[in-house]
Amino acid sequence: AQSVAQPEDQVNVAEGNPLTVKCTYSVSGNPYLFWYVQYPNRGLQFLLKYITGDNLVKGSYGFEAEFNKSQTSFHLKKPSALVSDSALYFCAVRDMTSGGYQKVTFGIGTKLQVIP
Amino acid sequence: DTEVTQTPKHLVMGMTNKKSLKCEQHMGHRAMYWYKQKAKKPPELMFVYSYEKLSINESVPSRFSPECPNSSLLNLHLHALQPEDSALYLCASSQVGSLNNEQFFGPGTRLTVL
């Protein structure tokens, strides 16, 4: 079965500093990886995805993620954190289905706190 | 239109009530999903509809009854719920048939069962 692990429950970073939210994955076959963000009392918003191609994936709101096959990691990064980036971040992996629809497994989530 | 809408935003119901959650999208997506999310936890998949047919039921109790009346609408009918069913219920949609399609989520319905 596909799975992702987010080893940190919470990440604190000062505003203006670079941020990293970690994710490692375990899949059989090619990985299809996603990052979503959830603001308080809201649904999830898609940030970016890795399917194939460049290992550095650029997404919404200045976020990017680095896919590393040898380390089975897909860490989320941003060069300069904003207070408004404070939210809950979920890494997810697409499960293989025969039906053509998406079935994803989410990590437990990492709370990002950007300190002014 | 890249939005998934959900109504109501908040719902309080007793254990003997019958209520329904509604979800709508106009992106032409033919897969729609219901998730349950407890506080500070990841979403848990409940149901998947593909081309208006139920494709996945993740062993959800029968007090939750999904319905997909057309390609744009998804309902979740609730009856005789328990207090532990209190949660944020999220609807999502995606395209079908491609490996790289992300899901679009609605804002959720915050359900409280008394």
Q: How far apart are CA B77 and CA A113, in angstroms?
A: 37
Whole-number pLDDT of residue A7: 96
- Map tokens 């069913």 to a residue: B85
Q: A103 and chain B: CB distance < 8 Å anywhere?
A: yes
Task: Over range B53-79, report the average pLDDT.
Answer: 95
Question: Which B residues 68-87 touch A at CB under 8 Å?
Answer: none
Task: Over range A86-104, report the average pLDDT.
Answer: 83
- Judging contacts by C-beta atoms under 8 Å, the chain A residues touching residue B27 are none
Residues ≥6 apart with Cβ < 8 Å to B39? none
Across the interface, whether the CB atoms of B105 and A43 are under 8 A apart is answered yes
Task: Over range B75-98, report the average pLDDT.
Answer: 93
Whole-number pLDDT of residue A53: 82
Task: Over range A15-21, report the average pLDDT.
Answer: 98
Task: Over range A90-112, report the average pLDDT.
Answer: 85
Whole-number pLDDT of residue A102: 75
Instruction: Give the chain A residue whose CA is nearest to the CA of B31.
Output: A101
Across the interface, whether the CB atoms of A43 and B90 are under 8 A apart is answered yes
Number of Cβ pairs < 8 A linking chain A and chain B? 70
Does the pLDDT at position A87 exceed 90? yes
Does the pLDDT at position A100 exceed 80? no
Question: Counting beta carbons within 10 angstroms of the beta carbon of residue B104, is it exposed (0 to 12), middle (13 to 18) or buried (19 or more)?
Answer: buried
Task: Over range B68-93, report the average pLDDT.
Answer: 96
Residues ≥6 apart with Cβ < 8 Å to A4? A23, A24, A25, A26, A33, A74, A91, A92, A93, A105, A106, A107
Task: Over range B89-105, report the average pLDDT.
Answer: 86
Residue-wise pLDDT for B11-65, tens only, equals 999 988 999 999 999 999 999 999 999 988 999 999 999 999 999 899 999 999 9
Residue of B103, B104, B110, B112 to mutate when probing chain A, most A C-beta within 10 A: B103
Across the interface, whether the CB atoms of A44 and B105 are under 8 A apart is answered yes
Q: DSSP string of A4-19?
A: EE---SEEEEETTS-E
Comparing CA positions, the residue from B10, B83, B11, B87 lying closest to residue B44 is B87
Q: B47 and chain A: CB distance < 8 Å anywhere?
A: no
Whole-number pLDDT of residue B1: 61
Across the interface, whether the CB atoms of A101 and B55 are under 8 A apart is answered yes
